Amino acid sequence: MKRRIQSRILPPFAGLTLLAYLVRRFPYHDEAGWGERIAQGRVQIGDQTALGSQVLAQNDVVEYLADDLPEPRVNLDVTVLFEDAELLVINKPPNLPCHPSGRYFHHTLWAVLKTRFGLEQPLLVNRLDRETSGLTIVAKTAEAGKLLNAEFSSRRVEKKYLVLVEGVFPPRVEARGLLLPDTASPVRKKVKFVAAEVAPEGQASQWAETVFQVLETVIPVFSKPGKSAGPVSLVEATPTTGRLHQLRATLQSIGFPVVGDKLYGYDAALFIRFCQDQLTEEDRTLLRLDRQALHASQLRILHPRTQQVLDLEAPLPADMAALLMELRKQ
């Protein structure tokens, strides 16, 4: 597969030359490196080979043939839980992106589905974050994808997640409210949950509903050197809406951040240091895990052809189970 990275020019970058844009937007090559690749004809604007001096306009599409770009290591331990002519249900491991984005192309679930499972056009019906593990549904046909997407969008799918959170979680929490932009955070994409029905004037919002039930709480009596010592709870989350970052933002806002969550954890600066590959040993100790401890554990759907109920389940992954076991021993 040829690896092509596409980028649409947004207003802040309009008016820059192609070379200046690439250096600013994709700093994994310096000016000389990008100049060499432009000269090799590996950068296009639209369907035309471009020059480094070409001035970019808003909504131009820049495409880069990036086969030489090294990709970060990922977990490719993909397990099939169900398969027939219409569907493929995957237990996605943690640390595997679903779709090509940024530096990830071959190291994605999409690429695995094409190369290992022979699907020419994989249609991922539900998408999980790179760090989130669990059930992922792949439609093998366009018709199956259309029907399943309609099932998800109409909220007829029953979903459950297993999540490890910091602290002693109450027996049951019904969280209903709004997801709003977290204007206090230095990370622009971050949102916060507010138990309210009306958003402040001028703020975009999304309604979110989740029921949380605690399954187990482990309170270590002592800790080994270098280990975090606070209590951890295993919680089952049942969302009735499907918003981006819904579970993580809600849990942080009600005081129980997800174990290992760098964006919705104790300190948003962790996310910035993570992006800059500057996490300290103290940061890693605080996080406990190297990924957010969130797992899509159960789905109940109607099969798109037979209309029979499918109850799908993915067990608690090894890293989350190992952390619980370690805390029990403490």
CATH of the domain at 9: 3.10.290.10
Residue 22 placed within a domain: yes
- Looking at the structure of the chain, the number of domains it has is 3
Asked whether residue 229 falls in the same domain as residue 274, the answer is yes
Asked whether residue 182 falls in the same domain as residue 223, the answer is yes
Locate the DSSP E strands across the chain. 4-8, 43-45, 48-49, 61-65, 79-83, 87-92, 123-124, 133-139, 158-166, 172-181, 191-194, 206-218, 232-239, 294-302, 309-313
pLDDT for the residue 223:
54
Q: Which of 96, 16, 6 is nearest to 45 (CA)?
A: 6
Residue 305 placed within a domain: no
Range of the domain at 37: 4-65
pLDDT for the residue 121:
82
Asked whether residue 24 falls in the same domain as residue 124, the answer is no
Residue 301 placed within a domain: no
Asked whether residue 289 falls in the same domain as residue 169, the answer is yes
Asked whether residue 184 falls in the same domain as residue 291, the answer is yes
Asked whether residue 176 falls in the same domain as residue 233, the answer is yes
pLDDT for the residue 89:
97
User: Tens-of-pLDDT digits for all 330 residues of the chain?
Assistant: 556 777 889 887 899 999 999 888 776 678 888 898 898 888 999 888 889 999 999 999 998 877 656 778 899 999 999 999 999 999 999 999 998 776 777 789 988 998 999 998 889 999 899 999 999 999 999 999 999 999 998 889 999 999 999 999 999 999 999 999 998 888 888 999 999 988 888 788 999 999 999 999 999 876 554 445 689 999 999 999 999 999 999 999 999 999 999 999 988 788 888 877 889 999 999 999 999 999 999 999 999 999 999 999 999 999 999 999 999 987
Burial of 223-248, coded b for 16+ CB within 10 Å and e otherwise, reads eeeeebeeebbbbebebeeebebbbb
Asked whether residue 47 falls in the same domain as residue 136, the answer is no
Q: Torsions phi, psi of 237, nearest 5?
A: -110, 130
Asked whether residue 167 falls in the same domain as residue 284, the answer is yes
| Residue finishing a domain among 154, 179, 194 | 154
Asked whether residue 139 falls in the same domain as residue 200, the answer is no
The CATH number that applies at residue 117 is 3.30.2350.10
| Residue finishing a domain among 154, 172, 196 | 154
